Amino acid sequence: MRKNNNTFHICVKETDLSVCGRIALGARSKAVPPGVRAWWQQACIAALIGMLLLSLPGASRAFAAVSGNACPTLDLAFGQPDVPSLPHLCFLQDETQALGPDDVLAGRLPMDRRDASELVFRHNQSAYWVYVPLRNLERAQRVWYLQLDYPLLDEVDAWVYDLDTGPGAAPVLLDMERMGDSRPFDARPVRHRLFLLPLEFGPLQSLAVVLRVRSSGAINVPLSLHSGGSAIGWAQDQGLSQGMFLGALVLLALFNAALYLRLRIRQPLYNAAYIVCAGLFLASMSGLSFQYLWPGWPWLANRSVPLTETLAILSLLWFTRHFLGIDPDRWPRQSRLIRLLARAGVALFAASLFVPYALIIKIDTVYALACMVAMFGLGLRHLRRGERAARWYVLSWLVFFAGYLAYGLAAFGYIPGFMAQERWMQIALGSQMFLLTYAEVMQLHDLMDRALGIEATARSSLQHEVRARTEDLRAAMGALERANRQLRDLTLHDPLTGLLNRRGLDEALDQFAKSGEPAARGVLVIFDLDHFKRVNDVHGHDAGDAALRWVAEVLVNLLRRRSDVLARFGGEEFVALLAATSLEDARILAGSVLDHVRRHPVDLGDGVTIPLTLSAGAAEWRPGDTPQSLFRRADENLYRAKASGRDRLVADGAAG
């Protein structure tokens, strides 16, 4: 009896009926009793039934893949609408990151079931495996696209298996893709900001997709399924909406940049910087920047989110400071708060380059929230003071907070529906930027109205004061360049005579040497008051200053053309640079100056006059001359005029 039992167990374990037949024949040849022979026959029948069960497609798949009862297959048919969220997906958490796709296919590990919209996990070190069985019900080839609607994932690995491999055979691997923003963008099977996996079904074919997802941040696995035609239409619609949104941001940024260039005030410049940085932040969050700006830089794709977020907050801080007029003298505490937050932002920007993403994104988010609350509080405080522009500023923050809260919760895995929250964030952010720009325009409009009101009130009685106030308002709106130009003029002119000083003359000589043809460049004349020290000693320095001013006036009246340059070179020396003038014409002009000074003494008042004479030296520009050589020859001619008795002109080659 014991021997018969062993024979029965051998037949049950074997998978080939011929073995059972040989065992039965062997037992029969040994004249086994009839009861035992019947037992052998029952064993062979049981083995036959087991073989038939294993030959069924469902049974073979149960050994080769996850049980169909645990993970229901999604049937696909022509004309069937897209599946925006795959239902009842099987998934498991791989805390050790040691599992492979075969472990998922074997079905030996317990798996949970959840709709794709609920596959939301906060940050941890685990990898997540998702099993997606699909079946084509059509007798024709079909192409479907499995889409993962969350672009901020470091690693997305996909294995596609054919489940129709015959009785008892394991699924066949058809395709494997490695995606994620820690890998080059060109590694994706479809160039799209989201993760798209094309699935090519044969007639009545069943496929299984095994996904492995891992990321240093929060993990969302919102899987959807699209047919080939609808996937193209969906991508076009998404591209159109994203393009319209980013195009609107570009227009707002250009408008603010134009305001800055027109008015020369920094407030629109900071607003334009905020719009650009916030747009780059959203583009990084949505995967657009990785697709179009730096597809070959996975490191930058990972770091662009905290970097652009910090830059956007810094730009908004400085915009707030200028928009609300937070001057350090008037609002010292508010000014210190903004400076403190700005310094923290600069430190975080630098830290974003090397601190692990999982840590820096949390710190940046807390910093951004703190800055937003601070800026909102500053707006409320200025609103209580009755500032009209602060109303629009506060309203822009209220609109923004609604979208930012939902977007942040979805991005960190606290609520599902990242794509829907992304659209809300775009609406909220776009509305905030529009309201900030509108508030900025209203503020400028109020400033202009105030300026016009002041001008209208004072025009009838004090026109000069109106102009001064208007200039003050314009200066407050960006007249720094004009002030610099005035300061430059002061450094180039002699305060006593109003003529150019020595520095101004040097610049004029350099320009004179670089302009025009050498033969037509002109003549340099140096005038010197004869015996000027005697005037100071006899009549005093006030009389000497009057004499210098009078000589300067004579030079301006007799020599000054638009192209000529007049300068007071030293104490009693004057220089005239006569452009495009021949030496003969220069001698006539300089002689008229000497004659006028000789015949018209300086009138000091009270019947006191001072007779004056001038000595002059003239030099004509020659080929090969430099400003220094030209000045040196004119000075030598002046020395010859003084040595010859003064009150005369000596030019190149002659004396007058």
- DSSP string for residues in 625-640: --HHHHHHHHHHHHHH
For Cα atoms 357, 362, 363, give the angle at the middle one, nearest 5 degrees.
100
* 401 vs 493: CA distance, rounded Å: 57
Residue 120 phi, psi dihedral angles, 5° rounding? -125, 125
Whose tokens are 């066949």? That residue is: 172
Whose tokens are 């076009």? That residue is: 236
Distances (CA, A) of 301 to 217, 368, 502, 522: 13, 20, 58, 64
Closest CA relative to residue 131, chosen from 179, 77, 67, 78:
67
* 122 vs 597: CA distance, rounded Å: 93
Q: Is 432 exposed, middle or buried (0-12, 13-18, 19+ CB in 10 A)?
A: buried
Residue 11 token pair: 């037949």
Question: Which of the following is catalytic: 507, 572, 573, 636?
Answer: 572
Q: Which residues contact 210 (CB under 8 A, 6 or more apart)?
A: 101, 104, 105, 129, 130, 131, 132, 158, 159, 161
Active site residue 572: yes
Distances (CA, A) of 365 to 185, 253, 308, 455, 515: 26, 24, 12, 48, 60
Q: With beta carbons less than 8 A apart as the criterion, state whether 298 and 182 touch.
A: yes
Q: Is 415 exposed, middle or buried (0-12, 13-18, 19+ CB in 10 A)?
A: middle
Q: Which residues contact 334 (CB under 8 A, 6 or more apart)?
A: 324, 326, 378, 381
3-state secondary structure of 92: strand
Residue 126 phi, psi dihedral angles, 5° rounding? -85, 160
Termini Cα distance of the chain: 154
User: Which residues are tagged catalytic?
Assistant: 572
